[in-house]
Structure 1
Amino acid sequence: MKFYNGINKVEKVLVAIVTVLLVAVVFLQVVNRTIIKATIAWPEEAARYLMVWQVFLASVIAFRTGANCCIDVLINRFHGKAKVVLTCFSNIVCLVFAVVLILGALEVIQTQIEFNQTSTALRINMAFVYAAMPVWGFLFIVELVFMTIQAFKPTAFKDQTDGEGSAA
């Protein structure tokens, strides 16, 4: 339980930090282009990579709170054990998707590290950018595990998630 709550808090803090950095970098670029009349390349690239990380991290929070787009018409038509079984099946499909994405991303990251491909303006290794996918996958899998447990024990995490509901 503490592990789950700790991960939730870390996710929120990371999303907040990335969002503040993204706003600051975009603001810097706007000031440079409109007031200073100078164009520098790195803020645009930094904003792009921060946006990638923001989307992946925030999507886990959206999934947890049910704010993501979800077609659960079929699952909501059932109650009791049938709903638990369908929820578990849905979570298993999502888990397989996450594992496939993680494995694919790890291959890409390994290639980026081997060839030391760096970004044009920031000169950072592109493996850092692609690392957003396996980080998302790990957090998503943790969320799926706890959502599956919650399907069996609906009150297990009700008071533990800072008032947030579940997407299940």
Structure 2
Amino acid sequence: MNEDKQQTEAGRADGAPEPILFEDQEVSIADLRWIDAPGILVFWVLAIVVFLQFFTRYVLNDSLAWTEEAARYLLVLLCFLGSISVVRRGSHIMLEFVIRKMPPRISKAMAVTAEAITLGFFASMTWIGYELILKTKQKMVTVPIPKAWIYTVCVVALGLMTVYSAIWLWRKWHSTPAQIIANFDASLNTD
């Protein structure tokens, strides 16, 4: 108990923000990077648009037509921009249970294979999305914004996910089987 208190006090002395306890898990704001900012910004814009939609529909009894379409596309953008953060942290869902039950060498092979498949998926979706941008000439119905702009943000997000997935593949390829198992154990203890 005293060690935990000393570590918390030492963390504050370093200038790092104090960790937040959430369901017996420490969540630190220090883990945020600049790449997470667009997702956070879109989240708050979505919250404002949905509140505006609710307020105008149920309080003023005269809803704004553009809020529903804007909320739909903001939710799509939030999904893609939030996925960048998830891939950056390496915390996408994976069948760790199966990998952990295998011998270490097979576990490494499975982890590397899973990451290679993920990388291939992100790369192919980036390419398909790019082709979709070139073919899209439509605008949104209620707001005169080209849909290609929204698709461009999604494709850029997919490209960044591809880059981070390649980094994770490189890390897993150059890790020993024991390090991969230790990383699974560490992620199990923090989740």
TM class, shorter-length:
0.7 to 0.9
CA offset at residue 106 of structure 1?
Answer: 1.1
TM (normalized to structure 1)?
0.75
Q: Is it true that 1:130 corresponds to 2:151 in the alignment? A: yes
Larger gyration radius, structure 1 or structure 2? 2
In structure 2, C-alpha distance between the alignment counterparts of 1:96 and 1:68, rounded to whole Å: 15
Deviations 1:58-77 (A, max 9, x none): 12323444654322333222
Segments of structure 2 that go 5 or more residues without pairing to the other structure are 1-31, 180-185
Alpha carbons 2:81, 2:154 under 8 Å: kept:
no
CA offset at residue 137 of structure 1?
Answer: 1.8
**Aligned residue number for residue 10 of structure 1:** 34
Alpha carbons 1:65, 1:165 under 8 Å: kept:
no
Q: Is it true that 1:50 corresponds to 2:74 in the alignment? A: yes
Segments of structure 1 that go 5 or more residues without pairing to the other structure are 1-7, 156-163
Three-state SS of the structure 2 residue aligned to 1:131 is helix
In structure 1, C-alpha distance between the alignment counterparts of 2:38 and 2:103, rounded to whole Å: 36
In structure 1, C-alpha distance between the alignment counterparts of 2:157 and 2:108, rounded to whole Å: 25
In structure 1, C-alpha distance between the alignment counterparts of 2:81 and 2:110, rounded to whole Å: 26
In structure 2, C-alpha distance between the alignment counterparts of 1:73 and 1:135, rounded to whole Å: 32
**Aligned residue number for residue 73 of structure 1:** 97
CA offset at residue 117 of structure 1?
Answer: 0.7
In structure 2, C-alpha distance between the alignment counterparts of 1:91 and 1:44, rounded to whole Å: 37
In structure 2, C-alpha distance between the alignment counterparts of 1:62 and 1:101, rounded to whole Å: 17
The one of 24, 30, 48 aligned to 1:24: 48
**Aligned residue number for residue 16 of structure 2:** none
TM (normalized to structure 2)?
0.67
The one of 20, 27, 38 aligned to 2:62: 38
- 90-99 vs 76-85, which deviates more? 76-85
Three-state SS of the structure 1 residue aligned to 2:113 is helix
- State the Cα RMSD in Å: 2.5
Q: Which amino acid aligns with 1:149?
A: W
Deviations 1:84-131 (A, max 9, x none): 33222111111111122111111111011xxx3100011110112222
Q: Is it true that 1:145 corresponds to 2:166 in the alignment? A: yes
Aligned residues: 148
**Aligned residue number for residue 3 of structure 1:** none
In structure 2, C-alpha distance between the alignment counterparts of 1:94 and 1:68, rounded to whole Å: 10
CA offset at residue 21 of structure 1?
Answer: 0.1
In structure 2, C-alpha distance between the alignment counterparts of 1:37 and 1:58, rounded to whole Å: 33
